[in-house]
Amino acid sequence: MKMKMVTALFVLSLSATASFAQTGASDGSRFGHGQDSLNCLKNISIYSEYVKTNNFKDAYPAWKSVFTEAPIAQVSTYTNGAKILRWFIANEKDAAKQKEYFNELMKVYDQRIQYLDELNKLVKKDVTKGSVIGMKAHDYFTMGGQDMNEAYKMFKEAIELEQANADYFVLQEFMDAAARKMKGDESYKEQFIQDYLMASGVADAAYNAATKEKEKGLLKVAKDNIDAFFINSGVATCDNLQAIYAPKVEQNKTNLNYLKQVISVMQLLGCTEEEAYFAASEAAHAIEPTPATALGCGYMYYKKGDMDKCIEYFDQAIELETDPIKKADYNYKVAAILYSKKQLSKAKQYALKSISLDGNNGKPYILIANMYATSPNWSDEAALNKCTYFAVIDKLQRAKSVDPSVAEEANKLIGTYSGHTPKDSDLFFLGLKKGDSVTIGGWIGETTTIR
């Protein structure tokens, strides 16, 4: 009887002690209770002071105690923990111990994600899961992680979660990891192209959304690096795209989403002369006509030399397109095609339509100028025919006034065509002089000024 009573008292004593001393990890509290809470607060103070002076070696024991026993004590447990462990990884000479610290660093991020909801209650602005995964991926990639598949997966998850809020370093390191992954996995080549398009698109969106110059500068560097990793991978060639997509298009003739993807990629990379692009466009157009599919069919028939079919499909693209800038570009492309086939009057109509839709593009003006210069003769008088070049120069002047990007080309052409204008003596016998107006006849139908 006495023995039973002693045992019961001992159990009660343990329970009472436990109620006064419990860690945060065991009872779900922030700091723990009793002596454990005092120890936790003391350790926070100790390691925090050491971190302030970059004494990460002495900070480690106290930090480790807080990390293990009070996982929701404060957010800085995780930010400071990453600093401490990065220092140990960088300064540890023993490979086995370095690996232990690396694994511990990865655990810092895993535990932070585990308790993210509770930790976010301690801060004014929530930290997102995607941003934590992005930081984990960054440290994995830069602090010793060897598996590029693992790095790739983490970076991709972070970007998919964060989109335009993804950190600049996550975007460029994702592409770096993707390029390394591709070197060891030929089957990844098609997906690599899609990953590039995703990273590039997100970087563009982030750059456009950024308001601070420093942030824009970092994102600009990231965008350039993403492009560089893709270009240097050797995948970004039309021959590669043809080899990748040709058999897949044949297998996916009724898969509209896949066909649209092929068309989009090949247009973006300027591979619109490849058979895979034509085949995808024609198959997609048969299912659901769009400006892009009509354009692809137009290019296909141009390559085949069937101008009537080519223009027919371009006209469909123009009719289906709702974006006036794109519609203007399609009109310009038709004008250029018709010009190459010496159908000048019809080419001019499309060029003028392009100008009416996008008055800030100088290219259609230059194209019209070249059309006039190609066919200057409309009169029996040689001097009057030479006046056509005044109309040519008018268009070139207009081109550079609306679009500074074409100024260099326009000035060169002005220099060339100015040499073809009539001399004063040639015009004198026709009763014409500088400042007089003259109407160029024929299909041109322009009034210009002699100078």
pLDDT of 16 > 60? The answer is: no
Q: Where are the alpha helices (DSSP H) in 121-237?
A: 129-142, 148-162, 168-183, 189-209, 213-232
Higher pLDDT, 398 or 257: 398
- pLDDT of residue 20 exceeding 60, the answer is no
DSSP character string of 90-103? HH---HHHHHHHHH
CB neighbour list of residue 266: distance below 8 Å, 6 or more residues apart: 238, 241, 245, 272, 274, 276, 277, 280
Helix axes 189-209, 256-268, angle to 10 degrees: 70
Q: pLDDT category, 25, cuts 50, 70, 90?
A: confident
Beta bridge partners of 34: 21
Categorize the per-residue pLDDT at 17 as very low, low, confident or very high, splitting at 50, 70 and 90: very low
Distance separating alpha carbons of residues 66 and 75, to the nearest angstrom: 11
CB atoms within 10 A of CB 51: 22
Q: Name the band, by pLDDT with cuts 50, 70 and 90, for residue 241.
A: confident
Q: What is the Cα–Cα distance from 152 to 134, expressed in whole angstroms?
A: 11
- Range from 23-27, 36-40, 260-264, 414-418 that averages highest in pLDDT: 414-418
pLDDT of the residue at 50: 96
Handedness of CA 174, 225, 140, 108 (dihedral sign): negative
DSSP string, 239-263: HHHHHHHHHHHHHTTT-HHHHHHHH
Model confidence pLDDT, tens digit, residues 164-216: 999 999 999 999 999 999 888 878 988 998 898 889 889 988 998 888 999 99
At 384-427, the pLDDT tens digits run 999 999 999 999 999 999 999 999 999 999 999 999 999 988 89
Q: What is the per-residue pLDDT for 448?
A: 96
Say whether pLDDT at 5 is over 90. Answer: no
Average pLDDT, integer, range 216-235: 89
Taking 70 as the threshold, does the pLDDT of residue 265 lie above it? yes
Q: Take residue 8 and report the two structure tokens written for it.
A: 């019961």
CB 331 within 8 A of CB 354: yes
CA atoms within 13 A on the CB side of 63: 25
Decide if 388 contacts 444 (C-beta within 8 A): yes
What are residue 448's phi and psi, to 5 degrees? -135, 175
Q: How confident is the model at residue 21 (pLDDT cuts 50, 70, 90)?
A: low
DSSP code string of 296-347: HHHHHHHHHT-HHHHHHHHHHHHHH---HHHHHHHHHHHHHHHHHTT-HHHH
Q: Which residue has the tokens 């003596």?
A: 425
pLDDT exceeds 90 at position 355: yes
The whole model's pTM is what?
Answer: 0.61
Beta pairing class for 33-34 and 21-22: antiparallel
Structure tokens at 313: 């499909």
Q: Which two tokens stand for residue 117?
A: 């909801």
CA 381 to chain centre: 57
CA 232, chain centre distance (Å):
16
Lowest mean pLDDT among 264-268, 328-332, 375-379: 264-268
Residues 330 and 321: beta-carbon distance below 8 Å: yes
User: Please, are residues 219 and 168 in contact by the beta-carbon 8 Å criterion?
Assistant: yes
pLDDT of residue 15: 43
Q: Is residue 243 scored above 90 in pLDDT?
A: no
- Per-residue pLDDT, averaged over 84-105, amounts to 95
For the chain, the average pLDDT equals 90
Q: What is the mean pLDDT of residues 356-367?
A: 97
Ranking 236-240, 318-322, 338-342 by mean pLDDT, the lowest is: 236-240
Predicted local confidence at residue 234, as pLDDT: 82
Q: Which two tokens stand for residue 168?
A: 């600049």
CB 277 within 8 A of CB 265: no
pLDDT band at 221 (very low <50, low <70, confident <90, very high): very high
pLDDT at residue 8, rounded to an integer: 41
pLDDT (average), residues 134-153: 93
3-state secondary structure of 386: helix
pLDDT band for position 307 (cuts 50, 70, 90): very high
**Contact call for residues 151 and 177 (beta carbons, < 8 A):** yes
pLDDT confidence bin for 429, thresholds 50/70/90: confident
Average pLDDT of span 94-98: 94
Residues linked to residue 448 through DSSP beta bridges, in sequence order: 438
Provide mean pLDDT across the span 326-344: 95
